Each structure stands twice: as structure tokens, then as C-alpha cells.
Amino acid sequence: MAVLLLSLGWGISPAIASAPNTQAIPSWSDNYVWPVAIINYIPINLEPTSFDPYSCISFAKAVLGRSEKWGNARDIEPNSEAFIGAVVLTDEGPGHAGVVIDLTSEEITIIESNWIPGRITERTLKRTDPKIRGYFVP
């Protein structure tokens, strides 16, 4: 016990501590720096309200809070790697787009509109899925 108290920087005194002689217990978070760096991050709104449910692009733009013209999903050129908030571009149908909302080293989870006509869906794809033609950041 004495070793633990000394390692925390507390002195050991045979006397009972009273209010003027007490010392605050240091918080572990005061002494530890979290080794986290978010390199690519785009804020996303998972409950957008103004979009065309029959347009994957309209939905992706609403999720990402964007308003500029993107064109059709099949015409967008990939320009990024996968990360949360990136737009995944697939060769499904005449071209399709969804927004990456989660990823691991092997899979991505996307939210999308119109994969099932007029509906918002969420699905998980393998990152090696041949339907994925790339990722786009506006």
C-alpha cells in the first residue's frame, strides 16, 4: 500500500488527515494524453429532412450538408480513400452513391437512399467488394 501511495505522489503520514492538510487525488486523465488523431472527418447528419428519396445523390448531399451540383453517381470521379463521411461510389444499377458511416479494416457500413427505390437503407459491404469503384469527397 505504501508503494502505491508513494507512486501516486501522496505522502504517508501517521496522523489522520484533516481538511487543511488533505491533497486532491489526481485524475488519471490529467496525466494521460489520448493517442488519437482524426485525420479525415466530415460531419454527417443521419436524419436529413430535405432531399429527394429517389436520388442517392440528393440524399448523400443532405447527409453531408452540401448543396453544390455533383451530377449523376456514375459520372463522379473517385478522389479519396474510405473514411467516415466519404461518399462511396458503386457500379450498382446506373451508378449509385452512399455515405460511409462506419468502417473497419475489412468492411464499410453505408447509409443510402434509393438502393431500394424511395427508401433509406443501411448496409455493410466488404471493402474489397468489386461493386465499389471508389470514394469521393466533395
User: Which CA distances in Å does 60 have to 19, 41, 48?
Assistant: 58, 15, 9
How many structural domains are present in the chain? 2
66 and 116, same domain (yes or no): yes
Record the pTM.
Answer: 0.70
Which DSSP symbol is given to 4?
H
Nearest-5° angle of CA 38, CA 39, CA 41?
Answer: 75
Structural domain containing residue 73: 56-136
Label residue 48 by pLDDT band (50, 70, 90). Answer: confident
CATH of the domain at 78: 3.90.1720.10
What is the per-residue pLDDT across 111-135, written as a single tens digit (0 to 9) for each?
999 999 999 999 999 999 999 999 9
Q: Is 105 in the same domain as 62?
A: yes
Q: Is residue 132 part of a domain?
A: yes
Closest CA to 135 of 63, 69, 83, 60: 83
Element (H, E) at 108: strand 107-113
